[in-house]
Structures are given as structure tokens and as C-alpha cells.
Structure 1
Amino acid sequence: MQRFKHHLTRIASATERRVWLTALVAALVAYFLFELTGEVLEGETRAFDEGVLLMLRDPFDPSLPIGPAWLTKMMVDITALGGVTVLTLLVTFVVVYLALRRKFRTAIFVTVSILGGWGLSSAMKLGIARPRPEVVQHLVEVTDMSFPSGHAMLSAITYLTLGAMLSRIEEQPTLRYFFPLVAVVLTLLIGLSRIYLGVHYLTDVLGGWAAGTVWACASWFVARRVLGRPSGR
């Protein structure tokens, strides 16, 4: 009995550390987002941002990206993973999967959380209204505002939230880290592809990552309260 109580104490202590670590990360990223947004609104990052975009283009012809043709094709394919169509399909499939596993509360929570984050992304774009980069040619078609990067923010919100929610229902401890790891890798690749394709400044992507991370952390906190203890823990 004493050993069992000691085991429960260790679990509680580890959980508390994760909570405080997540809170610290969210606070630091939120502060960074606040400062970055201020710098962008004041135009302080423009020279730096344009310099980064030009580094990724042929110095004699800014319309041509550096690297082989297959790299551009790969970046176009990667950036599609952060588009609304792909993300909507992904969220739909995951919600159906959760419903089939009779995780109805989790399915509803995932839907509300991700749709709320998407709404926040649109509001930030309209509120800040930063024009798209013009220093280099866009390699894919874009129509809306630039800051924060919608692909970076929506992919962070969607993939990080889904990764966190799926890890909650995974019973094997070694696999609980797989979903968040995949989410982070996809989010990073999608954001980098937007810079390479010339449709976003680096600070647009950093802002999108930051806003999406804060939203995903907030969703994780709410999930702990609303959905209760993860399965198998």
C-alpha cells in the first residue's frame, strides 16, 4: 500500500510539472507574440524580413528560388498541408475517429477548439492588415493579408491540438509522444515553406507559430479541466 501511494505521488508530481511547464511556455510565447506584433505594426522588421526573402532567391533574378526545381515542387506540396482544405479533411477524419471510439466529448472539444482558433486567425489578419511581401515573386497564389501567417497559425492550432488530444487517448506511454512530435514537425515544415515560396515574411510565420502555440496550450489546459484525466494515466 505504501508503495502504491508513493507511485501515485510521483505521478501527481510529474503531472504538476507538465502543467507548470506548459504554462511557462505559453506565457513566454504570448509575450514574444505581443512584442513581435508591436514591431511589425511599427515597420521595424521590414528590412530584416525582405533580406531573408532575398537570401532565398537567385541574386540575379529574384523571381527564381534557390535550389533545384524539385525543391520548389516539394515546398508547394508541403504548404498544401497547411491549407484550409487539407486541414478541414484532417479534422473531420479525426473527429469521426473519436466518435467511433465513443470519445464524444473529446470530439466536440476538438471541433470547437480548432474552429475557435481558425476564427482568431482571421480576426488577427483583418485587424493587423499587413500587406503581402512584394520584394519577390509569389510562387503560389495568395489573396488575404500577411500577418500572422494563416498556414503557420492554422497548422499549429490544428496539428498541435490534434496531437495533444490523440496523445490523451493513447494507452501506450511510448506512443503518447508520437502524435505531438509529428505535429511539431509538420507545423515547422509548413511555416518554412511559406517563406521559401515568398508569400510570407519570416516574422509572419513566427507570429503564426506563436499564436497557434498559445492557442494549443490554452486548449490543453481547458481539456484537462473539461475532459478530465487522460485514459490510461
Structure 2
Amino acid sequence: MRELIRRAWEVGAGMDRVVFLSIIAVVGGGWLFLAIADEVVEGESARFDEAVLLMFRNPENPEDAIGGPEIEELIRDLTALGGVAIISLVTISAVVFLIMDRKGHAAVLVLLATVGGQLISSGLKAYYDRPRPEIVPHLMHAARGSFPSGHSLLAAVTYLTIGALLAQMVTQRRLKVFILGVAVIITMMVGVSRIYLGVHYPTDVLAGWTLGFIWATLCAQVAQWLRQRGMVEQAIDA
């Protein structure tokens, strides 16, 4: 293992630091997703999944989520941020903004990233075909497969991709941190909301986050590669 790490570091020494870290993130994320999927297929994640789901419910009555009706309504609003309707609205808004700002290539990249994320989600749901949780009642309607969480995946893909792209278009570090921070927080809230509502296992959400992060990282690197070749618009002063 030490020798492998040393060789990887030597290879990375001759590369751009961001590119090297992105490769490590993608490889590590891929390994993590496969590890989660293996645990799910083998049924070894059941105890963990059930324990976390029950954490969000009244021990005396699993039909009641902690926090009461007001919190349930708030969580439903948050989970909508990862739904097809809101994701489509955010994507279209970002695309229109980029086009109006004369960043047409960036707009196309955002659109392709989101559509690609949807295809990845649909394909993997069909492949794994994991049933929805039954240990607790669902607090909202949910259809199709459970693994990976489509809301979590799409939230990560959309918000992280748009966040990374916008962060590359500003020069001030504090603006970059703010943009990426908001993207990460929204992505996390969507994932946790799916567990709270009982429509996804925690491993579904972790897998969705992981895949979304991988796809967003790849899209960000494609944007950077195209930008260096003058095919995606350069950063602006802000």
C-alpha cells in the first residue's frame, strides 16, 4: 500500500494539483460506491439502515416522525429541492442565465451534466431494483427503485455542477467558497430529508451523494479542460 501511494504521489507531482486531486476523488468515490452497493446487495447494510431510519421516528409509534407535523412539512419542502420539477427549474434558470451572460458553452455543459445525472440515476435504479424501506411508513409518495437515491444524486449533480461552474467564473476566493458551500448544504439537506421521510435507506442516500459527487467532479474537470482550450468562457472579475 505504501508503495502504491508513493507511486501515485510521484505521478501526481507532474500534474496540475486540481486535476490530480480530482482523479483521486473520482477513483475513491467509485470505490466507495461499489463498496456500498456490495453491502446492499449482500444484505449486510440492513442493521445500519434500519437503525438510522428509526432514529427519525417516535420509538413508541414509528408512524410519527420526530419534530411533529410542522417539521414534516418543512422536510417535504426541502426534499422538493431534489425533485424533477425543482431540478428542472434550477437547471433551466442556470442555462438561461449563462446564455444571457454570453456563456453558451457553459450553458450546454450544465444541461448535459443534469441530463446525464438523470440517466445515471434511472439506469442504476433499474439495475439494482431495491425495494423501498418497509420498516417505517413513508411520509410521502415514492415510486420506482430505492437504490441509489435519485433525489440525492440529482441534487449533488445539479447543485455541485452549477456551483463548481459558477465558482470557476469568479475570481474572489470568498465568493468561490460561498457558492460551493451553498451547493454542498443544499445537497446534504435533500439527502437527509429522504431518510427522514422514510422513502430511502441511508445507504441509498450515501450512494446517491457519491455518484453525484463523481459526476459533478468529472463535469467540472471537463469545463476546466474546455476553458483552457478557449471552448468555455473564462472567469470574470467580481
* Structure-2 residue corresponding to 1:86: 86
- Within 5 Å, which residues of 2 pair with 1:36-47? 36-47=36-47
Cα deviation for residue 118 of structure 1 reads 1.1
* Structure-2 residue corresponding to 1:7: none
Quote the sequence identity (%): 41
SS at match of 2:62: strand
5+ residue gaps, structure 1: 1-12
* Structure-2 residue corresponding to 1:211: 211
Cα deviation for residue 173 of structure 1 reads 3.3
Cα deviation for residue 116 of structure 1 reads 0.9
Asked whether the equivalents of residues 106 and 227 of structure 1 are also in contact (C-alpha less than 8 Å), the reply is: no
C-alpha separation in 1, matches of 2:56 and 2:236: 47
Q: Which runs of 4+ in 1 moved over 3 A?
A: none
Q: Aligned letter for 1:176? A: K
Q: C-alpha root-mean-square deviation of aligned residues, in Å?
A: 1.7
* Structure-1 residue corresponding to 2:109: 109
Cα deviation for residue 68 of structure 1 reads 3.2
Q: Aligned letter for 1:72? A: E
C-alpha separation in 2, matches of 1:107 and 1:33: 29
* Structure-1 residue corresponding to 2:155: 155
- Within 5 Å, which residues of 2 pair with 1:25-174? 25-174=25-174
* Structure-1 residue corresponding to 2:175: 175
Cα deviation for residue 67 of structure 1 reads 2.1
Cα deviation for residue 20 of structure 1 reads 1.7
C-alpha separation in 2, matches of 1:16 and 1:177: 20
* Structure-2 residue corresponding to 1:6: none
**Deviations 1:138-186, CA, capped at 9 Å, x for gaps:** 0011111100001100000000000011112224332122211110000
Asked whether the equivalents of residues 155 and 190 of structure 1 are also in contact (C-alpha less than 8 Å), the reply is: yes
- Within 5 Å, which residues of 2 pair with 1:176-191? 176-191=176-191
* Structure-2 residue corresponding to 1:16: 16
* Structure-2 residue corresponding to 1:9: none
TM-score by length of 2: 0.88
C-alpha separation in 1, matches of 2:185 and 2:135: 28
Cα deviation for residue 232 of structure 1 reads 4.8
Asked whether the equivalents of residues 105 and 227 of structure 1 are also in contact (C-alpha less than 8 Å), the reply is: no
Cα deviation for residue 109 of structure 1 reads 1.1
C-alpha separation in 2, matches of 1:172 and 1:148: 36
Cα deviation for residue 31 of structure 1 reads 0.6
SS at match of 2:235: coil
SS at match of 2:75: helix
C-alpha separation in 2, matches of 1:171 and 1:104: 20
C-alpha separation in 1, matches of 2:120 and 2:55: 31
SS at match of 2:131: coil
Q: Aligned letter for 1:115? A: V
C-alpha separation in 2, matches of 1:61 and 1:123: 36
C-alpha separation in 2, matches of 1:88 and 1:161: 14
SS at match of 1:81: helix
